[in-house]
Amino acid sequence: MRNKTIVLASNNQHKLKEFKEILTEYQILSLNEIEYTEEIEENGKTFEENALIKAKTIHDYLKVQGLNYLVIAEDSGLCVDSLNGEPGIYSARYAGIRGDDQANRDKLLEKLNGKKRDAYFICTILVYYPNGGHKTFVGKTFGKITEQELGSKDFGYDCIFYSNDLNKTFGEATEKEKNGVSHRGRAIQEMIREL
């Protein structure tokens, strides 16, 4: 896989940045960079199904363009034990509107009133090979949901996720600290070992 180009089936700048920081020896392209502009409907019932939908869609698109790139898709989210795994696959649209981080956090904090706060982030990465084969890698990181927001509110649930590894919220951690223990970082490390 050396010196290969990888297409990340996403335009999410945070995810793109995280993958580029960890996979430094590869050229990583976003959907914008391969001029894929359609919305991919993630209607799977699990993180793996959603990752497969994204990866296969982009694999098929590249094939039509005559490009033999490796495709990486990932789906990730926050799961809270006392809420039966919510928000889970709906993490990005928990409050109804995709990407409204503040509304998502507010809803979660409200639902957790008086409940146990153990939680974990999970990331499922699916590597789709040019020949149509694919492989899945999973990373998890454990912690608790805090009662108030601590640190940077820039990304998702980071400011209310207290990491057991770091003894602070992801919102209070540096990028390097977070990448070292994050669910995405761990899934990427699994993927690197395999490839």
By annotation, the residues acting in catalysis are 75
Q: Rounded CA gap, 13 and 64, in Å? A: 26
Q: Rounded CA gap, 136 and 154, in Å? A: 28
Tokens 């899945």, residue located: 136
Is the CB of residue 181 less than 8 Å from the CB of residue 166?
yes
21 phi/psi in degrees, rounded to 5: -70, -30
Is the CB of residue 68 less than 8 Å from the CB of residue 62?
yes
